[in-house]
């Protein structure tokens, strides 16, 4: 299966190295607005040297398109004329981009789209109770360096440099969270895609003592209550949990596996 990666930063690099060891995929194309990312990635690849192309050529030529760039990149990918074809597969890491482009997303009928669970667990249970949910909350606790550069923090002049104790820096809905924390809150977007519940309550807490990215989910309805908690070590990028990378790797395995466990 011919693969192309859009976005060659931390996650894109990890996935490229994973694919480079797999016999089921051939990494043939790379795309990134930052050429340094591509140069550094190519140095680490020993199996082959993928061709550097623009998004249009990558989508046209690849069987498997992997997005690990940003929610803004998702818009152009979903609207690309060559995407919605039989045999095409698209793995999206920046699920916030799906939420902002639901109209384009809903029009895709032929291309298979995968959104990994990312940094949270239990999405199979959440999907099972979709339509029966009465309340759904997501509380995210992150180290200061994981949120300090977020647009919401900057725009609201929230100074976290001298923070001594936990501080709730945001409470709001999904749309506000995606706009204010575009690199932090893909978990909320993925949670919405699984639950179809529009009134998700989101809280983000900065903790100067935190060593992990923690996500707590509480889901209630006439089925009972689902409580989920993950405490994830950050990846090389403090804004991203390593579990998100591992989740994407497992999704790639699932694409070629005829045995499915869970939903």
In Å, how far are 207, 218, 239 from 166, measured between CA atoms?
4, 20, 17
CATH topology of domain 2-115: Rossmann fold (3.40.50)
Note the pLDDT of residue 256. Answer: 84
Number of H helices, E strands in the chain: 12, 11
220: burial class by Cβ within 10 Å (0-12, 13-18, 19+)?
middle
Residues 220, 123: Cα–Cα separation, whole Å? 14
Containing 27, the helix (H) or strand (E) segment is strand 26-31
Q: Is the pLDDT of residue 218 over 70?
A: yes
Q: What is the pLDDT of residues 12-70, one digit of tens each?
A: 999 999 999 888 899 999 999 999 999 999 999 976 789 999 999 999 999 999 999 99
Which of 71, 88, 148, 215 is catalytic? The answer is 215
Tell me the whole-structure pTM to 2 decimals. Answer: 0.92
The correct answer on CATH 3.30.360.10 for the domain covering 123-239 is yes
Q: Is the pLDDT of residue 258 over 90?
A: no
Q: Between β-strands 213-221 and 224-232, what pairing exists: parallel, antiparallel or unpaired?
A: antiparallel
Q: Tell me whether residue 215 is one of the annotated catalytic residues.
A: yes
In Å, how far are 97, 155, 197 from 190, measured between CA atoms?
10, 25, 11
Buried b vs exposed e over 178-203: b needs ≥16 C-beta within 10 Å?
bbbbbbbbbbbbbbbbbbebeebebb
Note the pLDDT of residue 47. Answer: 65
Note the pLDDT of residue 194. Answer: 96
CB atoms within 10 A of CB 261: 7
Note the pLDDT of residue 239. Answer: 76
Q: What is the pLDDT of residues 120-169, one digit of tens each?
A: 999 999 999 999 999 999 999 999 999 999 999 999 999 999 899 999 99
Domain residue spans of the chain: 2-115, 123-239
Note the pLDDT of residue 263. Answer: 57
CB atoms within 10 A of CB 81: 9
Residues 111, 118: Cα–Cα separation, whole Å? 21
């Amino acid at each position: 299966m011919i693969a192309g990666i859009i976005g060659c930063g931390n996650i894109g690099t990890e996935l490229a190295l994973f694919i480079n060891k797999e016999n089921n995929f051939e990494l043939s194309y790379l795309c990134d607005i930052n050429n340094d990312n591509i140069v550094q990635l190519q140095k680490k690849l020993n199996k082959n040297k993928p061709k550097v192309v623009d998004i249009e050529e990558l989508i046209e030529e690849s069987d498997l398109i992997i997005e690990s760039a940003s929610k803004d990149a998702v818009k152009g990918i979903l609207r690309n004329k060559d995407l919605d074809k039989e045999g095409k597969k698209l793995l999206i890491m920046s699920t916030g981009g799906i939420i902002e482009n639901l109209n384009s997303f809903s029009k895709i009928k032929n291309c298979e789209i995968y959104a990994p669970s990312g940094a949270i667990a239990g999405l199979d249970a959440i999907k099972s109770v979709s339509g029966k949910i009465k309340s759904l909350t997501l509380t995210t606790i992150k180290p200061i360096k994981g949120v300090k550069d977020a647009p919401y923090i900057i725009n609201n002049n929230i100074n976290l440099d001298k923070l001594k104790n936990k501080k709730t820096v945001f409470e709001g809905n999904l749309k506000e969270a995606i706009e204010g924390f575009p690199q932090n809150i893909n978990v909320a977007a993925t949670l919405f895609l699984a639950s179809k519940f529009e009134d998700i309550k989101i809280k983000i807490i900065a903790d100067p003592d935190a060593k992990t990215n923690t996500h707590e989910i509480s889901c209630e309805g006439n089925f009972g209550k689902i409580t989920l908690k993950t405490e994830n070590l950050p990846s090389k990028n403090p804004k991203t949990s390593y579990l998100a990378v591992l989740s994407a790797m497992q999704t790639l395995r699932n694409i070629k596996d005829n045995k499915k466990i869970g939903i």
